[in-house]
């Protein structure tokens, strides 16, 4: 007999007789069977329990969530390694072998078995609770709503687009958990963001289901946790519930720090003088239009009060003001310059006492291959023309013996713009620095303190709520290349934050409340009774609130998070909401199973009970222009029988007139006894019209006004969006998101106007039947332009014509028609403070603007009149002018353009043809 050994040579036993060998073999087999059966018997109870649990997965009585199945899988894997993989089927018999094979199949492919179990459960559960879903609300729940209620994964995210019935889902979910015997009412935590929303939800759950579950705000549950752990609740700061008080406290802290005349006061004044606006220059842009658009958003107002045309000019002006040097900005030059063909010369600055002029030149130095240097201009600036202009200005001052001090963009690039200016002026002026408190009072006069205090307040709340440190912010500013502005801001924020914390004393604010409660839950000082956490308006969750939810979830292995929200409606970043938490819901709140992390389930409600198809689809298309938004299916409430979205273009100062026309049209469609609700929306509170007068004029319309943020959750038959114009206080707002907030946000939104686009979506989806957008015909917002130009939105016609889009040949902006003091029509560049391109309307029709096609030598008007094109500029055309040597042709843009030509026979023919027309 040969015995095979694993760790040595085979053993050969010789000379055994047949009968002895037979007996030996039978003894070995009996011992082998006994050994296997004995091992099996020792784990019989465990195996029976595992087998029963796995068998039940074929027809589960409860949703097979990852947190429920993971312990089963863990135990099955452990016994498989220690026992099942070693047992021999022939030794234990076919019945036991089949039971073990089932366990091993589960171990081998648990994902497929759990997935089949989920499908089986959902099919049966939806049928079992059909009557409940038919009657829990006034109307039967939709298939999507029913599915969201019975899905019970470790973390479930319900995507509830506008008007999709999210409150019905939360109501049904809470009632289902109790009625199905899954949870007792005191094991369910129902969370809302606002007190009134929590009260409404509690009442609705009890009224609909007879189940008493108290919905609470995050702050209420956090305050209760603190009270239970500490034995009493610390007093709440006065400003915690009052945003105005909070902002005023920040303003007072700034004022007190300045008047303390410390190093902090210098940091604060430095911020207002040099970093209040984003420090970009023409070198950061590829086109004049982009540069001018950016500058107009920045409100480049100096401490003296005038608006300047560039950030570097702002630095110079504020340095002069800080140091008590009186100056004039862009004054008329003291000597008249004759027959230059240029506009009157206005230097950048003139120092009042010394008479010194300052010109700031936008040039930088470029190293050439041979080691020499040359001056270069921004990408969109003609270098030769600019350098010629510099030479001409120097020549003017030399000829008239006026003193000129020059500064250059390359000096700022090299970090010595202001130190260099100080050196150049030292022989001519005496510095008389203004006290910090005097400068601060000036900042207050200019109303610059309010917006900065709001920025500080928003930053402070996000800083505390996100658990950030100053080192975190400093490091992130380096990664995001926010440069000196971020350092200047943090130099102010650090002492402001320290003083804010000091003034809290023994009181707490809402951020402290949430974070302290989260800490108590994390450390086990608070033991949570909750097994299901239901969160409404999840898109508004902040980092600190998310931390509390995670701490409560981590206390027990079977806790579920059920979140209902819409990332398309995330519009409260200023209050600390963090859209990152919803976009990465699984990573943040999900469970683990079979080596997979972030296990969660997403249910898309899809169907809207509010908006008809045109509004529902247009708003979806609009918000999904940002690829970071989560895509959802939309089933509209009905089909439009006429145009549901209208854009009304209002001439200057006629917004109220157009609003009355819109309301007249809506009222006219109602019968004698008919009524309709009309919601007027504005991006800002100051846009509210005279509601009493409007209600008196239109008694059949139930009129109301809300800001878009305040309108969330509301709906109306008709919505009218007011003042959808471009500009700092337009829509999209150009003052909402300071890049500095990225320092206290885990994920920066790179898409332009990302949050404002969601605000627009909220505005659009308040409407059931019609949406009317009123915008300026001369400066409609980028949103209005997008909606009207892109055929994807299906907005076929507009009420009131938007001006024909004429591109400015000087900067690429738009040429807009304006009425001159002489009553004539002119076309002026939208960037009037920077570009100055101005053209008269066609002299033949007096209304339209002659334009030339590429390569054409003629500018032709819509009225068919034609003119010789200017040989110098892109927009002008030539007309006859008289000079000292007789008539000649000159550009209509003179003196901005000096293009001219002699009158030739052919030109005379053109003039003759034109005059006949």
3-state secondary structure 58-75: CCCCCCCCHHHHHHHHHH
Question: Mean pLDDT throughout 900-910?
Answer: 62
Yes or no: say if 273 and 484 are a contact pair by the CB < 8 Å rule. Answer: no
Confidence check: pLDDT of 916 > 70: no
Q: Residue 911: its pLDDT value, please?
A: 46
Give all strands (DSSP E) within 342-454, no chain letters: 349-351, 357-361, 364-367, 373-376, 404-408
Report the DSSP pairing between strands 357-361 and 349-351.
Answer: antiparallel
Question: Mean pLDDT throughout 734-750?
Answer: 76
Report the DSSP pairing between strands 814-819 and 825-829.
Answer: antiparallel
Question: Mean pLDDT throughout 613-626?
Answer: 92
Yes or no: say if 870 and 853 are a contact pair by the CB < 8 Å rule. Answer: no
Yes or no: say if 662 and 770 are a contact pair by the CB < 8 Å rule. Answer: no
Q: Residue 895: its pLDDT value, please?
A: 82
Residue 394 backbone class (left: φ over 0; alpha: ψ -120 to 50; beta: rest): alpha
Confidence check: pLDDT of 341 > 70: no
Confidence check: pLDDT of 239 > 70: yes
Residue 769: which H helix or E strand, with range?
strand 767-776
Please give the structure tokens belonging to residue 676.
Answer: 């309709």
Residue 419: which H helix or E strand, with range?
helix 417-425
Question: Mean pLDDT throughout 35-47?
Answer: 86
pLDDT tier, 671 (very low <50, low <70, confident <90, very high otherwise): confident
Question: Mean pLDDT throughout 382-398?
Answer: 94
Q: Residue 545: its pLDDT value, please?
A: 94
Please give the structure tokens belonging to residue 505.
Answer: 């004393």
Q: Residue 796: its pLDDT value, please?
A: 57
**Percent of the chain surpassing pLDDT 90:** 57
- Residues 533-588 pLDDT 10s: 999 999 999 889 999 999 999 999 999 999 999 989 888 877 778 888 999 999 99
Confidence check: pLDDT of 803 > 80: no
Yes or no: say if 149 and 141 are a contact pair by the CB < 8 Å rule. Answer: yes
Largest CA distance in the chain: 142
Q: Residue 822: its pLDDT value, please?
A: 81
Position with higher pLDDT, 435 vs 481: 435
pLDDT tier, 640 (very low <50, low <70, confident <90, very high otherwise): confident
Q: Residue 798: its pLDDT value, please?
A: 58
Question: Mean pLDDT throughout 115-122?
Answer: 97
User: Which CATH superfamily hosts domain 140-236+510-604?
Assistant: P-loop containing nucleotide triphosphate hydrolases (3.40.50.300)
For the ranges 58-62, 286-290, 751-755, 804-808, the maximum mean pLDDT occurs at: 58-62
> How many angstroms separate the CA atoms of 702 and 695, rounded?
8
> How many angstroms separate the CA atoms of 517 and 520, rounded?
5
- Residues 862-886 pLDDT 10s: 899 999 999 999 999 999 888 778 8
Question: Mean pLDDT throughout 840-854?
Answer: 90
Please give the structure tokens belonging to residue 499.
Answer: 């003083």
CATH code, 306-434: 3.40.960.10
Yes or no: say if 755 and 749 are a contact pair by the CB < 8 Å rule. Answer: yes
Q: Residue 110: its pLDDT value, please?
A: 97
Q: Residue 915: its pLDDT value, please?
A: 38
- Residues 163-181 pLDDT 10s: 888 889 999 999 999 999 9
Binding residues: 160-167
Confidence check: pLDDT of 339 > 90: no
| Beta-bridge partners for 351 | 327
Question: Mean pLDDT throughout 327-336?
Answer: 94
Please state, rounded to an integer, the average pLDDT across all residues of the chain: 89
Question: Mean pLDDT throughout 346-354?
Answer: 96
pLDDT tier, 182 (very low <50, low <70, confident <90, very high otherwise): very high
Q: Where are the domains of the chain?
A: 16-118, 140-236+510-604, 306-434, 613-793, 806-916
Give all strands (DSSP E) within 849-912, no chain letters: 858-860, 866-868, 878-883, 886-891, 900-901
What pTM was computed for the model? 0.79
CA distances (Å), origin 652, targets 690, 722, 732, 782, 826? 19, 14, 19, 18, 15
Confidence check: pLDDT of 140 > 90: yes
| Beta-bridge partners for 293 | none
Confidence check: pLDDT of 507 > 60: yes
Confidence check: pLDDT of 748 > 70: no
Q: Residue 423: its pLDDT value, please?
A: 96
CA 93 from chain centre, in angstroms, equals 65
**Percent of the chain surpassing pLDDT 70:** 96
Yes or no: say if 65 and 152 are a contact pair by the CB < 8 Å rule. Answer: yes
Please give the structure tokens belonging to residue 211.
Answer: 């189940």
CA 13 from chain centre, in angstroms, equals 83
Binding residues for ATP: 160-167
Helix (H, G, I), strand (E, B) or coil at 29: helix
Is the fold of 140-236+510-604 the same as that of 613-793? Answer: yes
Using the 8-state DSSP alphabet, how is residue 372 labeled?
-
Yes or no: say if 707 and 683 are a contact pair by the CB < 8 Å rule. Answer: yes
Look up tokens 């620095």; give the residue. 433
Yes or no: say if 498 and 253 are a contact pair by the CB < 8 Å rule. Answer: no
pLDDT tier, 355 (very low <50, low <70, confident <90, very high otherwise): very high
Using the 8-state DSSP alphabet, how is residue 686 labeled?
G
Q: Residue 14: its pLDDT value, please?
A: 77
- Residues 583-592 pLDDT 10s: 999 999 999 9
Confidence check: pLDDT of 806 > 90: no
Q: Residue 910: its pLDDT value, please?
A: 45
Taking each helix axis from N to C end, the angle separating 448-465 and 243-259, rounded to the nearest 10 degrees, works out to 110
Q: Which residues are CB-neighbours of 828 under 8 A, at least 6 positions away? A: 815, 816, 818, 837, 838, 839
Q: Residue 342: its pLDDT value, please?
A: 65
Give all strands (DSSP E) within 70-203, no chain letters: 155-159, 188-192
Residue 339: which H helix or E strand, with range?
none
> How many angstroms separate the CA atoms of 590 and 156, rounded?
8
Q: Residue 201: its pLDDT value, please?
A: 86
- Residues 59-97 pLDDT 10s: 999 999 999 999 999 999 999 998 888 888 888 888 888
Question: Mean pLDDT throughout 516-540?
Answer: 96
> How many angstroms separate the CA atoms of 464 and 544, rounded?
8
User: Which CATH superfamily hosts domain 613-793?
Assistant: P-loop containing nucleotide triphosphate hydrolases (3.40.50.300)
């Amino acid at each position: 007999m040969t015995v095979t050994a694993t760790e040595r040579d085979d053993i050969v036993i010789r000379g055994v007789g047949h009968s002895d060998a037979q007996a030996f073999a039978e003894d070995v087999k009996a011992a082998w069977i006994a050994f296997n059966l004995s091992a099996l018997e020792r784990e019989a109870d465990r195996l029976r329990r595992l087998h029963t649990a796995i068998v039940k997965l074929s027809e589960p009585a409860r949703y097979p969530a990852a947190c429920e199945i993971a312990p089963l899988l863990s135990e099955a894997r452990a016994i498989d390694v220690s026992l099942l993989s070693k047992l021999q089927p022939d030794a234990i018999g076919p019945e036991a072998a089949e039971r073990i094979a089932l366990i091993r199949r589960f171990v081998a492919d648990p994902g497929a078995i759990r997935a089949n179990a989920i499908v089986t459960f959902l099919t049966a559960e939806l049928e079992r609770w059909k009557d409940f879903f038919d009657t829990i609300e006034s109307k039967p729940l939709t298939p999507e709503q029913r599915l969201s209620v019975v899905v019970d994964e470790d973390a479930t995210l319900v995507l509830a687009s506008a008007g999709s019935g999210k409150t019905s889902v939360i109501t049904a979910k809470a009632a289902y958990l109790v009625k199905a015997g899954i949870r007792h009412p005191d094991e369910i935590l129902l969370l809302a963001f606002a007190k009134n929303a929590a009260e409404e939800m509690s009442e609705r759950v009890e009224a609909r289901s007879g189940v008493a579950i108290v919905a609470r705000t995050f702050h209420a549950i956090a305050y209760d946790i603190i009270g239970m752990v500490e034995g009493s609740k610390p007093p709440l700061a006065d400003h915690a519930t009052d945003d105005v008080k909070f902002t005023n406290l920040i303003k007072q802290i700034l004022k007190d720090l300045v008047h303390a005349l410390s190093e902090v006061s210098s940091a604060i004044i430095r911020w207002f003088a040099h970093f209040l606006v984003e420090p970009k220059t023409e070198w950061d842009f590829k086109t004049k239009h982009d540069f001018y658009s950016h500058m107009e958003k920045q409100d480049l107002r100096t401490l003296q009060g005038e608006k300047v045309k560039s950030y570097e000019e702002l630095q110079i002006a504020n340095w002069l003001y800080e140091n008590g040097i009186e100056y004039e900005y862009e004054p008329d030059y003291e000597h008249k310059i004759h027959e230059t063909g240029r506009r009157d010369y206005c230097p950048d600055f003139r120092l009042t006492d010394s008479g010194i002029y300052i010109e700031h030149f936008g040039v930088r130095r470029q190293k050439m291959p041979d080691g020499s240097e040359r001056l270069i201009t921004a990408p969109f600036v003609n270098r030769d023309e600019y350098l010629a202009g510099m030479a001409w200005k120097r020549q003017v001052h030399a000829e008239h013996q006026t003193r000129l001090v020059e500064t250059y963009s390359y000096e700022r690039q090299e970090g010595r713009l202001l130190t260099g200016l100080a050196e150049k002026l030292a022989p001519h002026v005496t510095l008389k620095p203004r006290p910090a408190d005097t400068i601060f009072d000036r900042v207050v006069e200019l109303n610059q303190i309010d917006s900065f205090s709001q920025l500080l307040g928003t930053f402070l709340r996000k800083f505390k709520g996100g658990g950030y440190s100053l080192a975190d912010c400093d490091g992130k500013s380096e990664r995001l290349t926010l440069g000196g502005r971020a350092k200047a801001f943090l130099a102010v924020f650090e002492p402001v934050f320290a003083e804010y914390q000091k003034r809290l004393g023994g009181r707490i604010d809402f951020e402290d409340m949430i974070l302290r409660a989260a800490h108590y839950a994390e450390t086990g000082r608070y033991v949570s009774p909750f097994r299901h956490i239901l969160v409404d308006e999840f898109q508004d969750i902040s980092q600190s609130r998310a931390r509390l939810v995670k701490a409560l979830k981590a206390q027990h292995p079977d806790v579920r998070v059920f979140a209902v929200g819409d990332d398309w409606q995330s519009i409260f970043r200023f209050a600390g909401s963090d859209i990152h938490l919803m976009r990465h819901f699984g990573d943040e709140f999900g469970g683990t199973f079979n080596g997979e992390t972030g296990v969660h389930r997403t249910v898309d409600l899809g169907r809207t009970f509010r908006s008809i198809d045109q509004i529902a689809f247009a708003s979806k298309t609009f918000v999904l222009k940002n690829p970071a938004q989560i895509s959802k299916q939309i089933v509209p409430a009905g089909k439009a029988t006429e145009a549901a979205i209208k854009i009304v273009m209002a001439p200057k100062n006629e917004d109220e007139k157009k609003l009355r026309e819109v309301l007249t049209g809506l009222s006219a469609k109602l019968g004698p006894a008919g009524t309709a609700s009309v919601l007027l929306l504005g991006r800002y509170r100051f846009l509210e019209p005279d509601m009493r007068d409007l209600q008196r004029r239109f008694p059949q319309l139930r009129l109301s006004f809300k800001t878009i943020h305040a309108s969330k959750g509301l709906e109306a038959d008709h919505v009218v969006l007011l003042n959808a114009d471009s500009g700092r206080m337009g829509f999209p707002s150009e003052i909402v998101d300071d890049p500095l907030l990225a320092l206290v946000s885990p994920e920066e939104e790179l898409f332009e106007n990302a949050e404002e686009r969601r605000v627009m979506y909220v505005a659009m989806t308040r409407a059931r039947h019609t949406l009317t957008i009123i915008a300026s015909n001369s400066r409609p917002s980028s949103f209005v332009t997008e909606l009207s130009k892109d055929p994807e939105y299906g907005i076929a016609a507009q009420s009131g014509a938007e001006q024909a889009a004429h591109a400015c040949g000087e900067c690429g902006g738009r040429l807009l028609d304006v009425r001159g003091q002489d009553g004539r029509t002119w076309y002026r560049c939208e960037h009037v403070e920077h570009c100055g391109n101005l053209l008269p309307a066609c002299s033949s029709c007096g209304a339209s603007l002659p334009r030339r096609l590429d390569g054409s030598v003629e500018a032709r008007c819509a009225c068919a009149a034609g003119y010789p094109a200017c040989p110098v500029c892109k927009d002008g055309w030539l007309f006859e002018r008289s000079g000292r040597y007789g008539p000649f042709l000159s550009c209509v843009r003179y003196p901005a353009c000096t293009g001219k030509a002699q009158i030739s026979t052919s030109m005379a023919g053109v003039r003759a043809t034109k005059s006949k027309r």
